[in-house]
């Protein structure tokens, strides 16, 4: 059976800190949940497997597709490395409250402790309430010992780097970098396929039953990268109708496409799938004569065998274009 651009049924996640923007801004109905903190648009995480939403492959999960098509879907290099495990997880996140201060382990630590991949990720902010902030990294030189001193004194927030955030801001979060998403932000997240989080601080919040969430103070110590960086936000020059590189990492590379006219993308040089995530506007994707409409909040998986894609719009769009290096 021929491959085609694939879309998946979203997996909705109710969260203590979730809100209503997934429904109100992205138009995704998450009922009967009372809120939605995350929608997983493309997931190969066990227990949360994305299923194709339309076409002759409707109902098949990502691992089933990879098992069926192998390198034709994901690329031979990707298949040789990951087998039937899809290497990336695509989410939209709505933070109506601050998320916990947290960190993710790298591949080595995650494999030793959990038999899992680590979690390197990136964020692209496409809606931000006025005054919204996030935390990424430290605001001064740190060591494990100095970190523990501040932590045990209840002064953790003093040493964390807080950033004011606007739409279009991009942050790369390698495994080991302490971080949290602040309230009022709606963002797209691209990450390794991993659901391992070490929660460091949760603002003493309780759930509906009055229980605090578990903290992972000791586990986090070996995972944290204590290095200080003078600048954590990705710097890029916006361009119209030409791809702009946002992230290049060992796990994924991501470009931003901001277009107000037709653009043709040729992926003949890649041995990888390509994922398109619409973060603004709308348009049509034309591949091998078939047309797929997209708008803000859509994520589309382009199989490796489909090399050339035409993106059209009557107005304009912004798309994240991501793939395995």
Q: Average the pLDDT over 93-99 and give the result.
A: 95
What whole-number distance in Å separates Cα of residue 292 and Cα of residue 294? 7
Quick check: 110 and 117 in contact, CB under 8 A? yes
Residue 180: how many other CB atoms lie within 10 Å: 23
Question: 284: exposed, middle or buried (C-beta count within 10 Å: 0-12, 13-18, 19+)?
Answer: middle
What whole-number distance in Å separates Cα of residue 84 and Cα of residue 280? 32
Taking 80 as the threshold, does the pLDDT of residue 176 lie above it? yes
User: What pLDDT score was predicted for residue 99?
Assistant: 92
Render pLDDT for 123-140 as a digit per residue (tens, 0 to 9).
999 999 999 999 999 999
Residue from 275, 264, 294 nearest 74 by CA: 275
User: What pLDDT score was predicted for residue 161?
Assistant: 97
Residue from 274, 271, 241, 270 nearest 256 by CA: 241
Quick check: 58 and 6 in contact, CB under 8 A? no
Q: Is position 199 annotated as part of the catalytic site? A: yes
Render pLDDT for 277-311 as a digit per residue (tens, 0 to 9).
999 999 999 998 889 999 999 999 999 999 999 99
**Geometric angle at alpha carbon 112, from 43 and 48, rounded to 5°:** 15
Radius of gyration, CA atoms only, the chain: 20
Distance of CA 275 to the CA centre of its chain: 12
User: What pLDDT score was predicted for residue 1?
Assistant: 62
Structural domains in the chain, sorted by start:
11-221 (2.60.120.10), 244-323 (2.60.120.10)
Active-site residue among 23, 199, 213, 265? 199
Render pLDDT for 42-73 as a digit per residue (tens, 0 to 9).
999 999 999 999 999 999 999 999 999 999 99
Taking 80 as the threshold, does the pLDDT of residue 209 lie above it? no
């Amino acid at each position: 059976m021929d491959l085609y651009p694939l879309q998946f049924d979203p997996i909705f996640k109710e969260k203590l800190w979730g809100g209503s923007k997934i429904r109100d801004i992205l138009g995704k109905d998450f009922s009967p949940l009372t809120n939605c903190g995350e929608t997983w648009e493309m997931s190969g995480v066990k227990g949360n497997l994305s299923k194709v939403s339309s076409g002759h492959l409707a109902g098949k999960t990502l691992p089933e597709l990879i098992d069926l098509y192998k390198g034709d879907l994901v690329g031979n290099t990707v298949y040789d490395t990951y087998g039937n495990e899809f290497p990336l997880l695509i989410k939209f996140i709505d933070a109506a409250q601050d998320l916990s201060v947290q960190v993710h382990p790298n591949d080595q630590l995650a494999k030793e402790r959990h038999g899992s991949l680590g979690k390197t990720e990136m964020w692209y902010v496409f809606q931000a309430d006025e005054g919204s902030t996030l935390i990424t990294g430290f605001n001064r030189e740190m060591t494990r010992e100095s970190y523990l001193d501040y932590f045990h004194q209840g002064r953790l927030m003093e040493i964390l780097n807080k950033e004011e955030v606007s739409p279009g801001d991009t942050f790369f979060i390698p495994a080991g970098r302490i971080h949290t998403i602040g309230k009022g932000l709606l963002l797209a997240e691209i990450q390794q396929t991993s659901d391992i989080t070490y929660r460091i601080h949760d603002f003493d919040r309780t759930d509906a039953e009055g229980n605090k969430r578990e903290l992972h103070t000791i586990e986090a110590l070996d995972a944290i990268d204590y290095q200080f960086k003078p600048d954590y936000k990705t710097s890029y020059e916006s361009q119209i109708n030409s791809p702009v590189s946002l992230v290049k990492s060992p796990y994924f590379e991501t470009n931003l496409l901001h277009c107000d006219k037709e653009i043709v993308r040729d992926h003949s040089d890649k041995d990888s799938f390509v994922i398109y995530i619409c973060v603004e506007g709308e348009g049509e994707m034309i591949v091998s004569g078939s047309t797929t409409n997209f708008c803000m909040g859509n994520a589309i998986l382009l199989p490796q065998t489909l090399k050339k894609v035409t993106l059209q719009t009557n107005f304009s769009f912004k798309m994240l274009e991501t793939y395995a290096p």
